[in-house]
Amino acid sequence: MKSFPHLLSPLDLGFTTLRNRTLMGSMHTGLEEAENGYARMAAFYGERAKGGCALIVTGGIAPSEAGRVGVGGSVMNTLEEAHHHRPVTEAVHREGGKIAMQILHTGRYGYHDKIVGASPLRAPINMFRPHPLTQEEIFSTIEEFATCASLAREAGYDGVEIMGSEGYLINQFIAKRTNNREDDWGGSFENRIRFPLEIIKAVRKKVGKDFIIIYRLSMLDLVEEGGNIEEVLHLAKEVEKAGATIINTGIGWHEARIPTIAMMVPRAAFTWVTAKVKGHVGIPLVTSNRINTPEVAEEVLARGDADMISMARPFLADPDFVKKAMEGKSEEINTCIACNQACLDHIFVGKTASCLVNPRACHETELVISPTAKKKKIAVVGAGPGGMSCASTLAERGHEVYLYDAAKEIGGQLNIARRIPGKEEFKETIRYFSNKLNQMGVKLFLEKKVTADDLIAESFDEIVLATGVTPRKPEIPGIESANVMNYVDLVLHGKPAGKNVAVMGAGGIGFDVSLYLSDAGHPFTKENYLKEWGIDSSIPNNGGLTSKTETKSDRKITMLKRSSGKFGANLGKTTGWIHKTSLEDRKVEQISGVIYKSIDSEGIQIEVKGKEMKIPADTIVVCAGQNPRRELLEPLQKAGLTVHLIGGADLAAELDAKRAIDQGTRLAASL
């Protein structure tokens, strides 16, 4: 049994003794604006409090109309609004937890035409230009924060988090980048930090001494004209004097072009920033970003980088994270892999957040996993993401489940994903399902290419085909040449590639393959990450930015695609730019609007805009789509059996683990 003494030992914060040192960080879920959203929020946060999270911070709630995230965004500025939140706080308190409401004023990041800012400077990620607050409006805004905090107390919250980082309104006042005022709220650093300090003072005066005030401090802006470490330390001390209970770590503005929470960011990559503030303030410091296992959290605390750990997405992935850690069962934790596909990507297109590895997240009231009323004998064919989720959930409900796969190991296409540089976290999902399949008593048969006759002979009540996909082979003269391979041959089976490689296809698989090929073999470490993305850990002026270290590839790689237009248009909303930047830094050439003419041992002949050219290539990797594996479907249906298709067998689009796991879980919940 693993021991986590620093993670689990009590920490006296003056207001209570927490069960542990974990905080569920703020994350907008979309439930704040959804129909029946407060009941769903109550179920969501209540389940995480039951799982052992001692202090939860909600998604951002605006203190005024101007501060909303977007049209219809959540606001708390009336007693009626406060009363709507009562079910949420009561659900957390019933489970013995505490909950703080984040007060978020978006400033120039708000996506509506009433946004305001320190100055009339439009954000590069927004189409709207902010109205610069007048002196009178600044005082009104400060009072709106205080009123919002008071209403949060009325709603039953134990505290508030004042969002002062990530480039939102308060941060916009603090940084030279966004504050060019010439009055008492601009110019010198003392003037620029006046706004956050007056807000904290006003909130403390309004809510009294026994109410938690967390201040989210931007410790590393990662934008030009951002702050430096001296300013961070000075502000931290002033925040404490103003009345904050806890300081939480903020890393990077939303407009920063440096990844801070994506999968390719090393675990605990930014706790060194929080460590710089240790010893300079007397209130607890919380560190965050890419801390996703108890082992990592324990190491950070034991090292003394912070007093508490903040995790947001890990509690989406597993509401029982703390409980399992306390019981020494960390291997049973459904680990957040920082893919962003179902959480941040959903939020940025107006959908409700969820989780790739846990589709119940934010859907607790409608996706219920309950014991079956009638036990069935069920076969699941294919142990990829869809098959693993379906089989383990079926067994969890009480069914007798048989899981078959022709491969030597479970995981299916996840075994390709985990071999891509920066996507190694997918191995955690395989580890989680491996443990759950065993724990739930699923009968697993590997290296077993099951036939229709095999399945018919076993008299199964239901059969689930999660058989996945096969790579599509385009009809091009010379496609059978010895220098041609598909992405499975390359990544999964380790077939060697040459020095000049053409990649046919520019979807998610094409980008992954190009990154795999262009990786220079440098270790995936925090130090290399900081160098590659140009982060100066001494945090001088300019928000901690410095020149990037060139990432050299030992191959010449050319990506090709039939369609015209930019590459990567269909990549993840919040991570696509990272993949595009990485390949750009590695000097990967990209050609669109391609007509494939022929392939030979020297390369590939193409036509672009009526002009023919030869792309020299000793290796050609085909990433041109997939076909579903459904050969078992027809004979099983002819035999009168009930058959269900999930994952790639249902829809052979991109390798979509999110859809496969969601389908598998939902099907299992319904059978």
**Angle at CA 548, nearest 5°, toward 547 and 552?**
145
168 is catalytic: yes
Rg over CA atoms, the chain? 26
Tokens of 637: 């249906």
Give the SS3 label for residue 7.
Answer: helix
Element (H, E) at 617: none
Q: How many Å apart are CA 232 and CA 222, to the nearest integer?
A: 13
Rounded distance, CA 19 to CA 97, Å? 9
Neighbouring CB atoms inside 10 A of 492's CB total 14
Contact present, 516 and 490 (Cβ < 8 Å) = yes
User: Cα separation of 310 and 300, whole Å?
Assistant: 11
**Given 3-state DSSP classes, what are the helix, strand and coil percentages for the chain, each rounded to the nearest 5?**
35, 20, 50
**Six-digit token string for 12:** 């006296």
Which residue matches tokens 């077939």? 495
Q: How far apart are CA 310 and CA 329, in angstroms?
A: 20
35 Cβ neighbours under 8 A, 6+ residues apart: none
SS3 of 437, please?
Answer: helix
Strand partners, 559: 503, 590
Out of 157, 168, 402, 529, the active site residue is 168
Give the residue among 227, 228, 195 at the shortest CA–CA distance from 117: 195
Q: Which residue has the tokens 């702050």?
A: 227
Q: What is the rounded CA–CA span in Å between residue 158 and residue 10?
A: 18
Which SS3 state, helix, strand or coil, does residue 516 take? helix
The single-letter DSSP state of residue 634 is H
Nearest to 329 by CA among 443, 432, 427: 432
Q: What contacts 143, CB < 8 A, 6 or more positions away?
A: 202
SS3 of 340-357: CCCCHHHHCCCCCCCCCC
User: What positions carry a catalytic annotation?
Assistant: 168
